[in-house]
Structure 1
């Protein structure tokens, strides 16, 4: 099998890179070992929410110079502020072309309401999630937070208490009981957000759902529900809003996250429409090199059929996705044996305070300033590393995981596209 580019990893970074390359007419394949980390995502995307010293970031462009001083090996610092902001805007446009409705701007963070009812700074949020301006508040005086009887992945009382304490709005709670869910509720292991949505999204169940929500909400100006409506499209939620004649918003639940799944599905649909190849349940096992260049890949499902690509992108994720592997002695990248930043001494991997920023979150593959992966201190000619496999940043404490994924993905896609186009230029 021959491709212009092969992307290893089917998460946010890998799919975004593959979509961008496919949009430019390059034959692209994605090798995805398992369920994407997007299934565990809130659906909101962070660009930069905090500097390494803990300073909150209201405007990411204004904070990039300070970030470069505090974290010179951060992927944003390697790429430079101009490239970061250009790729961030490009990412927002790409997501829009994938029919992903998001609210926000790269120039100014806003605050999203979390599943605990608190606020968290972010860059882009699904239109179904309640948000506030950076220093603003929700526009309602009275809201109803509605849980679902027997659903343990969302606690309405915690959300309501936080809204009242932090924003001073009146928040009532209620529990939805709907006969259509009784069969599903009988099996606790099956009573999860995705399965609930498959029932509630059925057209015949929408009127009964709307009637029960209207009864529970009373005179509340807005309803807040767990994200258990609208798995495949926004239409069921729009129907609810029309029947209730008031705003209805969703909050993410414990995984699997409906909002994250919708993001994954939209990116994959876009890739498929563009002719890209998605290889689910497959895994790259090893590579064959010619000098500093990768010439082919071997995968678990195509052991005797080499996958050849002129350009390769490593978007395999961090420890969670097995893009990095830890033993008691060392941390390494398992496919190519690339240089890894961090992990030299085991006692430096973590801190005793569970809530403190953990050093291991900044471990990852070393690259040059073009994001070409390093092996033996030198960049490989046709291997880019993007997303969570990169080192030099803490996606949690710095609030930049999705931003690094998207910015690095589109940077790599841009450089690869230029290289492929040069390869196709006729020689005189």
Structure 2
């Protein structure tokens, strides 16, 4: 099979790149090997939450010079401030056009309430999640009800309420907890493995009388001006949740639960549907295995389902993710990228030939192995044996040189590099 572009990985980076290319007439295929990290995410997208020295980031533009100085190998530093800001702004418009229901701006981070009652700086959040500006000293709703579901342990109302009051912005609030008692969920309660957000959502949306659910929420809220719920209401999109909000007349907000996360799943479903509607091909349940490389170009790609009949394209995009999705693999003697065996890079004293340099003694410290990924240039082209492969690009967390957990920049890197690569390919890869 022949395509204009083959993308390896169907997560946020791969789908964003694929949609941007399909919108401009390129014929793309995405090799998708199972669930993406999006299915386990909070649904919020981080551009940059803190600097390597631990300083909190409020304004990305103002923090960029210091950031680039501290971390010159980060993808943002390689691409340059102008390019990163342009692509972040472009993604905000892109998300709006796809009705992803995200709020926020690259100009300033905001706080989102976490499932444990903390406040986390982020770039974009679902508009159904409780948020507040960094400068806001008091949450506008004084009376808050945190409602769980009886028997559902992936969301803990008491823990959330206790921790929420520790934040100065919520110190003035009266936070009460309650539980929704829904008999229709009894069948799921008998099997803890089935009592998850996805299963609950299916029952609540399709097997429970809508009016009964609205009444149950109103009764449990007991007059609260804001109600925090676990994200278990609407698996495809926010339509069901918004219907509950309108029918109840309450200020309802939803918080992500332990994985799987409906907030992340909704976004992935939306992106995938858009990609396929534009004519893109999803090669689901397949896995890229190896490639033919000659003259500093990828000539053909072989996958688990196409081991004899090669896949051909003018350009290839590696969006395979990090350790979670085996985009990067740690073996006893070295850490490697398993499909093309590309050159890798890490932070600080990391040495791929010295296993002792992969970790630090202090468990809670950022670990060097977490910063490992493939090496790219300013065009996101990758490198093998010191030479650039001119038609192979990397996007998202497979790229090395930074620790996305420490910095809070995973989603930002994903979409910024994805849109950068789409631009490079559309310009002819020059």
TM-score tier by shorter-chain length is over 0.9
- The correspondence of residues 395-414 of structure 1 with structure 2, limited to 5 A, is 395-414=404-423
Q: In the TM superposition, what whole-angstrom CA distance separates every residue of 1:41-61 from its partner, at most 9, and x where no partner exists?
A: 000000011000001000111
Unmatched runs of 5 consecutive residues or more in structure 1: 423-428
Give 1:411 shift.
Answer: 0.3
Equivalent residue, structure 1, for 2:67: 67
> Does residue 215 of structure 1 match 2:258?
no
Equivalent residue, structure 2, for 1:393: 402
Give 1:144 shift.
Answer: 0.3
Give 1:19 shift.
Answer: 0.7
Match of 2:188, SS?
Answer: helix
Equivalent residue, structure 2, for 1:146: 147
Give 1:203 shift.
Answer: 7.4
- The correspondence of residues 300-339 of structure 1 with structure 2, limited to 5 A, is 300-339=304-343
Match of 1:306, SS?
Answer: strand
Give 1:395 shift.
Answer: 0.8
> Does residue 356 of structure 1 match 2:353?
no
Aligned counterparts of 1:206 and 1:138: Cα–Cα separation in 2: 30
Give 1:204 shift.
Answer: 4.6
Aligned counterparts of 1:100 and 1:25: Cα–Cα separation in 2: 22
Q: Please give the root-mean-square deviation of Cα atoms over the aligned residues, in Å.
A: 1.2
Aligned counterparts of 1:296 and 1:249: Cα–Cα separation in 2: 48
Match of 2:88, SS?
Answer: helix
Counterpart contact for 1:199–1:205, Cα < 8 Å? no
Aligned counterparts of 2:97 and 2:274: Cα–Cα separation in 1: 8
Equivalent residue, structure 1, for 2:159: 158
Q: In the TM superposition, what whole-angstrom CA distance separates every residue of 1:46-103 from its partner, at most 9, and x where no partner exists?
A: 0011000001000111111111100000000000000000011111122222220100
Q: In the TM superposition, what whole-angstrom CA distance separates every residue of 1:262-316 from its partner, at most 9, and x where no partner exists?
A: 0100100000110000111101111112210111101101222211000000011
Counterpart contact for 1:312–1:383, Cα < 8 Å? yes
Equivalent residue, structure 1, for 2:76: 76
> Does residue 5 of structure 1 match 2:5?
yes
Unmatched runs of 5 consecutive residues or more in structure 2: none
Q: In the TM superposition, what whole-angstrom CA distance separates every residue of 1:381-419 from its partner, at most 9, and x where no partner exists?
A: 100011000011111111100000000000001001110
Aligned counterparts of 1:400 and 1:221: Cα–Cα separation in 2: 33
Equivalent residue, structure 2, for 1:415: 424
Match of 1:396, SS?
Answer: helix
Q: TM-score, normalised by structure 1?
A: 0.96
Equivalent residue, structure 2, for 1:426: none
Equivalent residue, structure 2, for 1:40: 40
Give 1:233 shift.
Answer: 2.4
Counterpart contact for 1:206–1:236, Cα < 8 Å? no
Counterpart contact for 1:206–1:239, Cα < 8 Å? no
Match of 1:46, SS?
Answer: coil
Q: TM-score, normalised by structure 2?
A: 0.96
Corresponding residue pairs, total: 421
Q: List, as ranges, runs of 4+ consecutive aligned residues in structure 1 with deviation greater than 6 Å.
A: none
Give 1:341 shift.
Answer: 0.8
Equivalent residue, structure 2, for 1:425: none
Aligned counterparts of 1:287 and 1:194: Cα–Cα separation in 2: 37
Q: In the TM superposition, what whole-angstrom CA distance separates every residue of 1:104-145 from its partner, at most 9, and x where no partner exists?
A: 001100000001011000000001100010132421101000
- The correspondence of residues 14-413 of structure 1 with structure 2, limited to 5 A, is 14-136=14-136, 137-166=138-167, 167-168=170-171, 169-202=173-206, 204-342=208-346, 343-344=351-352, 345-413=354-422
Match of 2:418, SS?
Answer: helix
Give 1:355 shift.
Answer: 2.4
